[in-house]
C-alpha cells in the first residue's frame, strides 16, 4: 500500500497536504464502522475514500489489511481515531442536549456528524473548511442521496482568512449558546493562528457554550519521526504528518484564561464548589475489552490499554502525565494543570484532548 501523496500544505481540496489527512481520518472511521466492537458508526466514510483517486486502494475494513490490527497505521493509529471520534461525539451530543443550540466544526474536513448523530431538532451545525474540501464532501454525499438530520450550514472559508465574518454571515448567532470542536486541527496551525482562533471563539461564545480541542504536549515533534506510526503513515500512504504539523512552540491556549488556582485531577473526589460542578471523569460511556483498546472504569472514564504509544494511548482519567492523552470538560473558572479551562467572560466550558507522541 505504498503511496506517493503530495505534501503541499496549501492544496485547496483533499488531493494533498492537510486536506489529504481528512481522507486518512475517513478511512479510519470506515475501519471503525466495520469492527465487531465498533465505538462509532459512519456509513459515509468509506465512500469518501473510494471517491478520491489518491486513496482508492486504502483499506476500509481491517480484513483488507495483511497484518490486520498489528499494522501500526490501520490497526493502532486507526483505532485512535475511532476512539477519538466516539469521545467527541459524546461530548458534542451532551452539550447539545443541555445548553448549546449551535454546533461549530472548525476545520470540519469530511466530518459527517450532521448526518449520523441524533441531534435535538433545533440544533444548527456549521461546518467551516476550505471550499475545495467542502465541495468534495458535498458531491459524495449528494451522490449517496444523504440527508442531514438537522440544519447544516457549510461555511467555505480558510481559517487563515476572515472566518468570523463568514460564520456570522452564514447565520451564527453569538448570543445563543454554542459548542465548538477543533478536532485534529491545532497541530497544523502556527502558534499565533491558534491563539487568534481560541480568542475569536471566546468572543463569539456566551453562557452555556463549550469548546473541545486536541493538543500535543511534546516540544520536539521530529524526535518521533522514526516511531512506528509516523513511519507507517509515510511509507504506506505517503503522508508525512510531521512535515505537515507546525514545528513552532505551542501556546497554552486556555491556561491564560484561568481565574482560580489549579486543581489536581486526584482531588476531584472532594465535594465540588459552586464553580466546579463538572467532574474530570465525566467523559466516558463506551467500553471495549480488546487488547490495547479502551476500557471503562467505575467512574465512566475512557482510556486506551497500557503500553500503547501515541496516538492511541488514551483519554480521561485522573493522574494524567506528560505522554498520556486526556479529554475532559469543565465549567468556567475551574482550571487544572492540564489546561482544561474556560472563558471567564462567557462562562463557557472547554474540553481538551491532550496527546503526546511518546
Per-residue pLDDT reduced to its tens digit, 217-243 = 667 777 888 899 999 999 999 999 999
| Distance (Å, whole) CA 299 – CA 329 | 15
| Distance (Å, whole) CA 52 – CA 49 | 6
Task: Spell out the domains of the chain, with CATH numbers in brackets.
Answer: 17-355 (3.40.50.150)
Residue 45 has pLDDT above 70, yes or no: yes
Confidence band of 11 (pLDDT split at 50, 70, 90): low
What was the pLDDT predicted at 6? 41
| Distance (Å, whole) CA 355 – CA 358 | 9
In whole angstroms, how large is the CA radius of gyration of the chain? 19
Per-residue pLDDT reduced to its tens digit, 204-219 = 999 999 999 887 766 7
Per-residue pLDDT reduced to its tens digit, 252-282 = 765 555 433 322 222 233 332 222 222 222 2
- Residue 296 CB burial class (10 angstroms; 0-12, 13-18, ≥19): middle
- Residue 2 CB burial class (10 angstroms; 0-12, 13-18, ≥19): exposed
pTM: 0.76
Averaged over 343-347, what is the pLDDT? 34
Confidence band of 16 (pLDDT split at 50, 70, 90): confident
Per-residue pLDDT reduced to its tens digit, 146-197 = 999 999 999 999 998 999 999 999 999 999 999 999 999 998 888 888 889 9
| Distance (Å, whole) CA 242 – CA 34 | 29
Q: Which residue has the higher pLDDT, 3 or 135?
A: 135
Confidence band of 288 (pLDDT split at 50, 70, 90): very low
Averaged over 336-358, what is the pLDDT? 37
Amino acid at each position: 500500500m505504498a503511496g506517493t501523496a503530495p505534501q503541499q500544505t496549501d492544496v485547496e481540496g483533499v488531493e494533498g497536504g492537510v486536506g489529504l489527512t481528512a481522507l486518512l481520518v475517513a478511512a479510519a472511521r470506515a475501519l471503525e464502522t466495520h469492527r465487531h466492537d465498533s465505538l462509532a458508526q459512519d456509513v459515509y466514510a468509506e465512500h469518501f475514500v473510494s471517491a478520491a483517486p489518491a486513496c482508492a486502494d486504502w483499506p476500509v475494513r481491517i480484513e483488507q489489511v495483511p497484518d490486520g490490527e498489528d499494522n501500526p497505521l490501520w490497526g493502532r493509529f486507526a483505532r485512535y481515531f475511532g476512539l477519538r471520534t466516539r469521545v467527541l461525539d459524546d461530548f458534542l451530543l451532551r452539550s447539545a442536549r443541555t445548553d448549546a443550540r449551535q454546533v461549530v466544526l472548525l476545520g470540519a474536513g469530511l466530518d459527517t456528524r450532521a448526518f449520523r448523530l441524533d441531534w435535538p431538532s433545533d440544533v444548527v451545525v456549521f461546518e467551516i473548511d476550505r471550499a475545495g474540501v467542502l465541495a468534495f464532501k458535498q458531491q459524495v454525499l449528494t451522490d449517496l442521496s444523504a440527508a442531514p438530520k438537522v440544519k447544516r450550514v457549510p461555511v467555505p472559508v480558510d481559517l487563515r482568512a476572515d472566518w468570523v465574518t463568514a460564520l456570522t454571515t452564514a447565520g451564527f448567532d453569538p448570543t445563543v449558546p454554542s459548542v465548538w470542536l477543533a478536532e485534529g486541527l491545532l497541530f497544523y496551525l502556527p502558534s499565533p493562528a491558534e491563539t487568534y482562533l481560541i480568542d475569536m471563539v471566546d468572543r463569539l461564545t456566551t453562557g452555556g457554550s463549550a469548546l473541545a480541542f486536541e493538543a500535543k504536549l511534546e516540544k520536539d515533534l521530529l524526535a518521533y519521526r522514526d516511531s512506528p506510526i509516523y513511519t507507517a503513515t509515510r511509507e504506506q500512504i505517503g503522508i508525512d504528518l510531521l512535515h505537515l504539523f507546525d514545528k513552532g512552540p505551542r501556546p497554552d491556549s486556555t491556561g491564560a484564561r484561568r481565574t482560580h488556582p489549579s486543581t489536581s485531577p486526584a482531588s476531584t473526589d472532594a465535594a465540588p464548589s459552586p464553580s466546579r460542578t463538572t467532574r474530570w471523569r465525566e467523559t466516558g460511556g463506551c467500553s471495549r475489552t480488546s487488547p490495547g483498546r479502551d476500557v471503562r472504569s467505575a467512574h465512566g472514564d475512557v482510556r486506551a490499554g497500557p503500553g500503547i504509544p501515541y496516538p492511541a494511548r488514551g483519554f480521561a482519567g485522573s493522574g494524567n502525565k506528560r505522554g498520556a492523552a486526556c479529554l475532559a470538560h469543565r465549567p468556567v473558572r475551574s482550571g487544572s494543570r492540564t489546561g482544561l479551562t474556560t472563558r471567564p467572560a462567557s462562562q463557557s466550558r472547554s474540553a481538551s484532548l491532550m496527546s503526546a507522541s511518546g
